[in-house]
Structure 1
Amino acid sequence: MADFAIAPEALKDTLAAALGEMAQHVDLALGEVTVTVPAARYHEAMKALRDAPGCRFEQLIDLCGVDYSAYGDGRWEGPRFAAVSHMLSVSLNQRVRVRVFCPDDDFPELPTVCDLWSAANWFEREAFDLYGIMFDGHTDLRRILTDYGFIGHPFRKDFPLSGHVEMRYDADRQRVVYEPVSIEPREITPRVIREDNYGGLH
């Protein structure tokens, strides 16, 4: 492993050069580099990040879905769904974040990267389960956190807080049963107390 990490500015330049036209943006903020790639070049770009000499991101340490529909208090005008990955190069001691937007809001779909990193298997299943993002080429894309009969995708911003159904075990029938939600929908607004010198701030 490298003794020290490359400077973020240098990493940004290295990644921009390695990806070329495969990258829409290579941004540096708060000491972290974020690469945005188009869905059509996503798999190709991820393979380059794994294999290119100045990149060598051997480990996919996270992949998650994002729903931008309420981002910026509704001022967001881009695609609704994205997948965001975090990758680590152990050999070069560097990290990168990759963001890719799904072209179709009604049927969000991206290529799988399971063939590049086996760790993507469960991460992509989670993004499918919670956000409804399909990963083309995934060999076992099924729910991983919710029940098999679950309806909808609970991390989408328009999913109701109380869900659609309640599930419980019925001792008389000796099986799990689904019933309409019995909880009254309500919004609880927390009481915020402001102090003039809270935490020593002026």
Structure 2
Amino acid sequence: MTAKLDTLAQHLNDRLAELIVTQRTALGELTVEVAVSDYLDLLAVLRDDPDFAFDQLIDLCGVDYSTYRNGVWSGNRFAVVCHLQSIEHNWRLRVRCFAADDAFPVVPSITGLWTVADWFEREAFDLFGIIFPGHEDLRRILTDYGFIGHPLRKDFPVSGHVEMRYDPTQQRVIYQPVSIEPREITPRIVREEKYGTPGHG
């Protein structure tokens, strides 16, 4: 860990230990985990306290941990992960917050802290089904408004539920049940008869 990360980690321990569930460093990056009830409070301090001064939200995304490490995951399924940057201190921090309910994942909106979170949260809602109370315009952003389901959830079928095509008789695009049958493709290996014998490679 660099001296800069050491300093940041020490500030977090000194000032926010009661709000942080876990804190770890891996591959030169610092990650803290926070309970959903403390999510907004922690992020407000990280933005407003001059000792941290995380003035930029670089990214916010959803994560589905249901098949993490080949399905051995035992914690909550859905998380929101924020990547913060401080221009003044030239350091970065990753903040992870798990939704308490796997069936209806809810994490408070941080658009009141960083307006750039608007589209990031819409994307996490669209692709993972995470709800962000406090977001003023939470609607789909990448899929069609009539789309059913959340395509980045690990239990969403690879082929989807419906397919879209143009119907020339109706002269419009229509949706219909998927007609693709799932199949497993095993590659066939073709080799010469003498492959592997001495003198033939």
Fold similarity call, TM over 0.5: yes
Secondary structure of 1:73's counterpart equals: helix
Task: Give the structure 2 partner of residue 83 of structure 1.
Answer: 80
TM-score by length of 1: 0.88
Q: Which residue of 2 aligns with 1:41?
A: 38
Distance in 2, Cα, partners of 1:36 & 1:65: 14
Between the aligned residues of both structures, percent identity stands at: 59
Corresponding residue for residue 49 of structure 2:
52
CA distance in 1, matches of 2:186, 2:28: 35
Supply the AA of the counterpart residue of 1:132: G
1:92 deviation in Å? 1.1
* 2:107 aligned with 1:143: no
Q: Which secondary structure does the structure 2 equivalent of 1:169 belong to?
A: strand
Contact 1:18 1:48 (C-alpha < 8 Å) held by counterparts: no
Query: How far apart, in 2, do the equivalents of 1:189 and 1:62 lie?
Result: 38
> 1:20 Cα deviation (Å)?
2.5
- The equivalent position to 1:73 in structure 2, one of 70, 90, 102, is 70
CA distance in 1, matches of 2:98, 2:121: 14
Contact 2:4–2:91 at 8 Å: present in 1 too?
no
Partner of 2:108: 111
Alignment: residue pair count: 188
User: Once the 2 structures are TM-superposed, how far is the Cα of residue 180 of structure 1 from its aligned partner?
Assistant: 0.9
The secondary structure found in structure 1 opposite 2:32 is: strand
**TM superposition shift of 1:134:** 0.2
What corresponds to 2:196 in structure 1? none
Shift of 1:190: 6.7
Verify the 8 A CA contact 1:62 1:85 in the aligned structure 2.
yes
Q: Which has the larger radius of gyration?
A: 2
- Which segments of 5 or more consecutive residues in structure 2 lack a partner in the other structure? 190-201
Could you tell me which residue of structure 2 aligns to residue 99 of structure 1?
96
Aligned to 1:128, the other structure's residue is in SS state helix
Residue 175 to residue 75, structure 1, CA distance change in 2 (3 Å): same
The CA distance in 2 between the partners of 1:169 and 1:150, in whole Å, is 17
Secondary structure of the residue aligned to 1:158 is coil
Alignment CA distance shift 1:128-1:91 (3 Å): same
Q: CA deviation at 1:171?
A: 3.0
Q: What are the ranges of 5 or more consecutive residues in structure 1 without an aligned counterpart?
A: 193-202
> C-alpha distance in 1, partners of 2:4/2:188?
44
Alpha-carbon distance change, 188 to 47 in structure 1, aligned in 2, over 3 angstroms = farther
Flag the structure with more relative contact order, 1 or 2, with Cα contacts below 8 A and sequence separation at least 6: 1
**Cα–Cα, structure 1 residues 152 and 190, in superposed 2: closer, same or farther, change >3 Å?**
farther
Determine if contact 1:67/1:81 at 8 Å carries over to the other structure.
yes
C-alpha displacement of 1:170: 2.2
- 1:191: how far off? 8.4
Structure-2-length-normalised TM-score: 0.89
